[in-house]
């Protein structure tokens, strides 16, 4: 905590001036916290940190001139004593993960009560993080789940038990007639099942369907 006669110095960086002014008004009512300046773009935020040397930066993740992610990275690199708390009106996991990777100490939604903002400022000033290492890692994993392959993984998980059974028999090397006999269905019905599998997975061949099913552990190659 700061000495008894000193406040925690806070810079607000948000391109929504009305929101920033309102936030300043309520923060200034908090004992032991003072807003040094309001800036409305990322470049100004970096410059203000250099000039004002605030303890905490409340920074909107989506900013003009220099975007919030780049601003966080530069502030943390040039002024490591300043701790950045991301303010955002969005819960975009991808943006938040990038913010933490850039060096942000925490995240606050703009919809949270002002009391939460003051508490977060005090906590981060004490060296605490608003999200544990486990929570940040979980965030990164959720983002990774939306990368390449996520769509086909999701499609694989929607396969019915019967469709998975057919794919497994195909992986086992059974011919279509043998699969139909094993399942007690006609070849026509089997063809319908196979077509439904291809449609569900968004692929054009049985080979592609099998490759995806094996890759994501739905069936076993034997």
Cβ-based neighbours of 110, under 8 Å, separated by 6 or more? 19, 87, 88, 89
Q: What is the pLDDT of residue 132?
A: 56
Question: Could you tell me the residue ranges of all domains in the chain?
Answer: 8-144, 150-215
Q: pLDDT per residue over 48-103, tens digit each?
A: 999 999 999 999 988 888 888 999 999 999 999 999 999 887 666 777 788 888 89
Is 3.20.20.220 the CATH number for 8-144? no
| pLDDT reported for residue 138 | 66
- Sequential DSSP letters for 96-132: HHHHHHHT--EEEETTS-HHHHHHHHHHHHTT--SS-
Q: Report angle CA 112, 114, 117 to the nearest 5 degrees.
A: 80
- Topology agreement, domain 8-144 and domain 150-215: no
40: nearest Cα among 51, 48, 28, 30: 48
Query: Whole-structure pTM over 0.75, yes or no?
Result: no
Q: Are 60 and 78 in contact (CB under 8 A)?
A: no
CATH fold of 150-215 reads Arc Repressor Mutant, subunit A (1.10.10)
- Look at residue 144 in the predicted model and tell me its pLDDT: 62
Q: Which tokens is 84 given?
A: 């950045």
Residues of the chain below pLDDT 70? 1-5, 90-92, 131-150, 222
Which two three-digit tokens encode residue 76? 């943390």
For helices 42-52 and 68-78, the axis angle rounded to 10 degrees is 20
């Amino acid at each position: 905590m700061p000495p008894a006669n000193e406040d925690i110095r806070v810079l607000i960086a948000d391109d929504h001036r009305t929101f920033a002014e309102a936030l300043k008004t309520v923060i200034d009512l908090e004992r032991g916290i003072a807003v040094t300046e309001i800036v409305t773009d990322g470049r100004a935020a970096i410059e203000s940190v250099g000039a004002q040397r605030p303890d905490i930066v409340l920074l909107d993740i989506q900013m003009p001139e220099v975007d919030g992610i780049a601003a966080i990275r530069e502030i943390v690199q040039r002024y490591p004593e300043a701790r950045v708390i991301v303010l955002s009106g969005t819960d975009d996991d991808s943006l938040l993960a990038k913010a933490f990777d850039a060096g942000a100490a925490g995240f606050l939604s703009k919809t949270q009560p002002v009391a939460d903002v003051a508490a977060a400022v005090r906590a981060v000033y004490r060296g605490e993080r608003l999200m544990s290492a486990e929570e940040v890692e979980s965030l990164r994993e959720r983002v990774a789940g939306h990368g390449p392959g996520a769509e086909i993984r999701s499609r694989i998980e929607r396969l019915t038990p019967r469709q998975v059974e057919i794919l497994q028999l195909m992986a086992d090397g059974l011919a279509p007639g043998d699969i139909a006999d094993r399942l007690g269905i006609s070849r026509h019905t089997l063809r319908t099942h196979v077509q439904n599998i291809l449609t569900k997975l968004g692929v054009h061949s049985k080979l592609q369907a099998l490759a995806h099913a094996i890759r994501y552990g739905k069936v076993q190659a034997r």
